[in-house]
Amino acid sequence: MLPILVTGGCGFIGSNFIRLLLEKDPTTPIINFDALTYAGNLANLHDVAHCPNYRFVRGDIADRDTIRQVVGEGVSAIINFAAESHVDRSIHDSRPFVRTNVLGTQVLLDAAREFGVNRFVQVSTDEVYGSLGPTGAFTEHTPLAPNSPYAASKAAADLLVRSYVQTFGLPAIITRCSNNYGPFQFPEKLIPLFITNLLADRPVPVYGDGRNVRDWIHVRDHCAALALVLERGRPGEVYNIGGRCELANLDLTHTLLDILKKPRSLIRFVPDRPGHDRRYAVDCSKIERELGWRPTIPFPQGLRDTVTWYQEHNDWVAGVRSGDYLNYYRRQYGALAG
């Protein structure tokens, strides 16, 4: 059996996805191809590294020669998680976003085409649709209107995937998921940033008025949806994935403070993110109808479990909150970094 090529498998969602596949069947052949950027961490998969058919290859998806070599050895499918994934970093410098998210995807698509790969799943995001008003939800037919350089780079990649389907008949599928949370998420994103700050009695920076709304989904539910899409999704289709769990950032912050029994005085309102999308909500009825998938982890339960995971993984947190992270934190949050 040829291996599945998972790119970006050392990141947050990719590592949870590989663990899910190996839990189902530890003999599944997997190549995890990852550049190990600041967000990639071998420790995220320390427990599965011994699995007999699991192989790690360090490499950059935008490096055509290395990708041709790996795909040329034969892979049954490619699922592309590799990306620069943080909106605030894309506002500081969009270059790595274009290189990895756009050029990297193009290199993967070319290799998939050249070597006749039977299935290509592009892991995209609801952010490509832009921002919603107070009502309604993104469907797969909502026009793309990205507002951040990150979202624009993901939308560009989606359009390239679409073009390879239309022009070359590549059997590719795009998924667009809402905000993930859960174990192994790098503490630059809202939930792990706030949990790790609060565990250290540090303040939490809420952008703007805190009324921006996100639709939260546990990473395990996202990964289960991706496993189904990989197995049974229809080539050429787009599938939205969401948690049906809308929450304003400030309400979420209050919930985290309550779980951790910390005072509201730790909240700091800081200047808003430029171009900050007001609201996301995902209509995921298509994947529910076609593939029988549903989000299963209730948010209050998933959030408590996530807090516990960070409490119990001090070493992991200390390992990622090191030099480069502290530089980023100072640049992003200035005086709050202390």
Give the catalytic positions in this structure: 126-127, 150
The partner in contact with residue 212, picked from ligand NAD, ligand TDX, none with C-beta cut-offs of 5 to 8 angstroms by kind, is ligand TDX
The residue ranges of DSSP E strands in the chain, in sequence order, are 4-7, 30-34, 54-58, 77-80, 120-125, 172-177, 179-181, 204-207, 213-218, 238-241, 246-248, 267-270
83, 88, 287: which is closest to 176 by C-alpha?
Answer: 287
Q: One-letter amino acid identity for 302?
A: G
Count the helices and strands in the chain (H runs, E runs). Answer: 13, 12
226, 240, 220, 187: which is closest to 298 by C-alpha?
Answer: 220
Which residues on neighbouring strands pair with residue 312, listed in sequence order? none
Place of tokens 């109808």: 289
Q: Which is nearer to ligand NAD, 38 or 115 (CB)?
A: 38
- Confirm or reject binding of residue 86 to ligand TDX (CB under 6 A): yes
For β-strands 213-218 and 246-248, DSSP reports them as antiparallel
Among 80, 105, 142, 212, binds ligand TDX (CB under 6 A): 212
Among 190, 198, 245, 297, binds ligand TDX (CB under 6 A): 190
The partner in contact with residue 207, picked from ligand TDX, ligand NAD, none with C-beta cut-offs of 5 to 8 angstroms by kind, is ligand TDX
- Confirm or reject binding of residue 11 to ligand NAD (CB under 6 A): yes
Q: Which is nearer to ligand NAD, 12 or 138 (CB)?
A: 12
- Confirm or reject binding of residue 81 to ligand NAD (CB under 6 A): yes
Among 131, 147, 196, 249, binds ligand TDX (CB under 6 A): 249
- Confirm or reject binding of residue 207 to ligand TDX (CB under 6 A): yes
Region near ligand NAD per CB under 6 A, out of 35-43, 128-136, 138-146, 287-295: 35-43
- Confirm or reject binding of residue 158 to ligand TDX (CB under 6 A): no
Q: For residues 150 and 81, what is the distance between their CA atoms, to the nearest angstrom? A: 14
Site residues, ligand NAD (CB under 6 A): 7-8, 10-14, 34-37, 39-40, 60-62, 81-85, 100, 104, 123, 125, 154, 177, 179-180, 186
